[in-house]
Amino acid sequence: MKAIVNKIASLFMALLVLLSTLSFSVGMHFCGDSLVDFSLFESGDTCGMTAQAQKSPTSCEMMEMDMDCCSDVAFVVEGQQELKLSFDPLTFEQELFVSSFVYAYLSLFEDPSEYNPHFKDYAPPPLIRDVQILNQTFLI
């Protein structure tokens, strides 16, 4: 269950970073009140009325009276560009603290039953007499 929550959280954070840095623009071209062209990431194509208006100014003047000729509308959504990409180097004291903290923290999770002494290949000396029983000394 914990692994699933970690995966969902990491996916959510990755999408959050992606969407916060994404920028795009929407371009629309209107002729009068009607939308002629709509495009993402670039400006919209014209309907050709601007070329007609340059050829004969009287036709554009007549259209201005009826529907204000053509217009371009652009929406630009800027993403966040102030991400810190570099990491400041640590001083020697900070590195020493981090390494000792990580070592101490990871040693908390070691299983003591997995302790392997260095002398496991050597047999103890033979027991000739039991000194504790001879002296009647017992640990309680």
The DSSP string of 45-69 is PP-SHHHHHHH-HHHHHHHHHHH--
pTM of the model: 0.36
pLDDT in tens, 56-97: 454 445 444 444 578 888 888 887 777 667 778 889 999 999
Record the tokens describing residue 53, joined without a space: 């208006």
Question: Could you report the per-residue pLDDT of 11-44, keeping only the tens digit for each?
Answer: 999 999 888 888 888 888 888 777 888 787 666 5
